[in-house]
Chains A and B, each alone.
Chain A
């Protein structure tokens, strides 16, 4: 598990490396180039660029990436 906190937007992205199969879907389809591949696993590279669009979480087939928009955390707790 690697966890990082964004600087601009208050976002936390968690990648479960044990479940990530390195399909690159989240990396290539992120509109803000936040993610990159390192040693076959997705990694957060530019968290400050994250717009919390949730597309990576929506499309990760392996439940391996979780994006928390901390500004909405109360409403989106489920």
Chain B
């Protein structure tokens, strides 16, 4: 057993999420990762936007901020700039981070600010009843795509990588141990770190797309996951519909708050 209670606001339980929603599995993985790092609760600040996934901040006994839709990263940026000692973790959905918040997302990655983003990708706007999101795969149904989505989808990990993130990993809730490991590394890493987690939404996405029970959706992740090392030698056709899991980026780049401090120190010296 792992003692999750020490990090939870138990008076807020049971969780609001639907039966079989993957978000609770991600929450547990996050808590185990934070525990392994031995981070003091007062040094952790968790920030979320709006959405089912963003409700997570209400359940954890850290410094928490539940902000407005799409703006979690802007609040988080302010927190990190003002108090760089805090570990700042952003909890966000695919809609929150890459639709309304897409601009902030690419710029936080460009600045390479020392923030960890746990992005719950369920391919849909869960909270508002299943509208199409920037990650809804082509052909999949949503309330606003009743005949199937005709748009191209974002590769959100690729987006963070292209914009300049230090660390990018993708995982599934099926492999919760791997997920925990990536979250741990992402928090440890100095710079903008993204863990994209595929978290099943049986209610707004699965039901509409006939993906079966929560167990079916989790097993589908298992059957379709391809480790990044293997994916490298596969063609785009072979990778169609597959989930490439693993560490996509782990590199060193100048970090925003450190560069800012360097400038402050330099200007002070000149006086």
Contacts and interface: CB of A to CB of B under 8 A. Distances in A.
A62 interface: yes
A40 to B, nearest CB: 9
Interface in B197-220: 213-215, 218
B28 interface: yes
B215 A24 contact: yes
B176 A58 contact: yes
A11 to B, nearest CB: 10
B28 A23 contact: no
A23 B35 contact: no
A61 B15 CA distance: 9
Contacts, number: 67
B163 interface: no
B1 interface: yes
Contacts of B251: none
A23 B2 CA distance: 21
Interface residues of B, number: 27
Contact of A28 (B21, B35, B176, B215): B215
Interface string A1-43: 0000000000000000011011111001100000000000000
Contacts of A19: 13-15
B75 interface: no
Nearest to B35: A78
A61 B2 contact: no
A74 B17 CA distance: 33
Contacts of A21: 14, 18-20
Given A22-B19, A23-B19, A59 B173 contact: yes
A63 B1 contact: no
A69 B213 CA distance: 30
Give the 8 A-B CB pairs with smallest separation, nearest first: A61-B24, A21-B19, A23-B20, A23-B19, A28-B215, A19-B14, A68-B1, A58-B176
